[in-house]
């Protein structure tokens, strides 16, 4: 059978970009069609000192032109930057690669949108809906019937319980817990280790156990 190569370009050559590179190497063992072209980064020296990374920075993030044949994956954790990059590349006719690490436990009833990154050890149980351009970092757990909208970033060890709704461009810090049936509005940020128990609206910084509003965030 002819294997059609998927040439992948990683946007962001920082720490998470290097992690994504390793995840792709793991995926190559299962999917031989994957080819890693290299990185794009505003700092052309971002990989200096990391000689064990087998690919180079092949361009910056200006994105004045893109590879129509390539597949992009955004390894930048800032939700606003992620959204801007995704929208720009899509408007130019580009494609994104959806990375689900081989170690992820995901039910066939779940769905994952284009350009999302599901990192090692993550668990998606039943009927979980993950939007476009989402990061679910190491060992994130997402319970039944939950919805994660576009451009959300879930840091390592975040625990999303059942029937949770997380709206667009939410950032949740490491080891935070979102309890069953909770709703977190668009553009909220939840600090590491916090426990969210109730409905929250948009544009809020939440912190603590129980999580409380620290301040309103600019839109």
Give 66 or 115, the one with higher predicted confidence. Answer: 115
Give the pLDDT score at 106.
Answer: 97
CATH architecture of 6-97: 3-Layer(aba) Sandwich (3.40)
Query: What distances in angstroms separate CA 65 from CA 38, 39, 61, 82, one per listed residue?
Result: 16, 15, 10, 18
**Closest C-alpha among 63, 154, 174, 159 to residue 112:** 154
Query: For residues 80 and 89, what is the distance between their CA atoms, to the nearest angstrom?
Result: 14
pLDDT in tens, 176-186: 999 999 999 99
Supply the pLDDT for residue 219.
Answer: 65
Which residue has tokens 């990683």? 10
Q: Phi and psi (nearest 5°) for 19?
A: -65, -45
Give the pLDDT band (50/70/90) at residue 41: very high
Class of domain 100-210 as given by CATH = mainly beta
pLDDT score recorded for residue 3? 54
Given this model, what pLDDT does residue 186 score?
A: 97
* Three-class HEC string of 55-103: CCEEECCCCCCCCCCCEEEECCCCHHHHHHHHHHHHHCCCEECCEECCC
Q: Where are the domains of the chain?
A: 6-97, 100-210
- pLDDT tens for residues 128-179? 999 999 999 999 999 999 999 999 999 999 999 999 999 999 999 999 999 9
**% the chain with pLDDT above 70:** 97
Give a three-class secondary structure readout of 151-184. CCEECCCCEECCCCEECCCCEECCCCEECCCCEE
The pLDDT assigned to 4 comes to 57
**In this structure, how many other beta carbons lie within 10 angstroms of the beta carbon of residue 59?**
19
Q: Is the dihedral of CA 164, 166, 167, 168 positive or negative?
A: negative
pLDDT at 1 over 50: no
Residue showing tokens 């361009």: 59
Whether the per-residue pLDDT at 8 is higher than 80: the answer is yes
Q: In the prediction, which pLDDT does 131 show?
A: 98
Task: Say whether 24 sits in a helix, a strand or coil.
Answer: helix
The gap between the terminal CA atoms of the chain, to the nearest Å, is 50
């Amino acid at each position: 059978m002819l294997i059609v190569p998927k040439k992948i370009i990683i946007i962001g050559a920082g720490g998470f970009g290097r992690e994504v590179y390793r995840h792709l190497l793991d995926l190559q063992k299962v999917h031989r069609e994957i080819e890693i072209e290299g990185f794009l980064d505003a700092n052309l020296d971002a990989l200096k000192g990391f000689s064990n990374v087998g690919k180079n920075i092949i361009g910056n993030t200006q994105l004045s032109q893109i590879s129509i044949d390539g597949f992009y994956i955004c390894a930048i954790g800032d939700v606003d930057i992620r959204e801007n990059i995704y929208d720009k590349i899509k408007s130019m006719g580009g494609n994104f690669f959806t990375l689900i690490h081989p170690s992820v436990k995901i039910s066939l009833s779940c769905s994952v949108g284009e350009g999302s990154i599901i990192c090692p050890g993550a668990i998606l149980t039943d009927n979980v809906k993950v939007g476009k351009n989402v990061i679910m970092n190491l060992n994130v757990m997402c319970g039944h019937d939950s919805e994660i909208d576009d451009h959300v970033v879930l840091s390592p060890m975040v625990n999303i319980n059942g029937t949770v709704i997380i709206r667009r461009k939410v950032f949740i810090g490491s080891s935070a817990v979102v309890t069953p049936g909770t709703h977190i509005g668009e553009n909220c940020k939840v600090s590491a280790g916090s426990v969210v128990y109730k409905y929250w609206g948009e544009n809020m910084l939440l912190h603590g156990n129980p999580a409380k509003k620290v301040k309103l965030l600019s839109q």
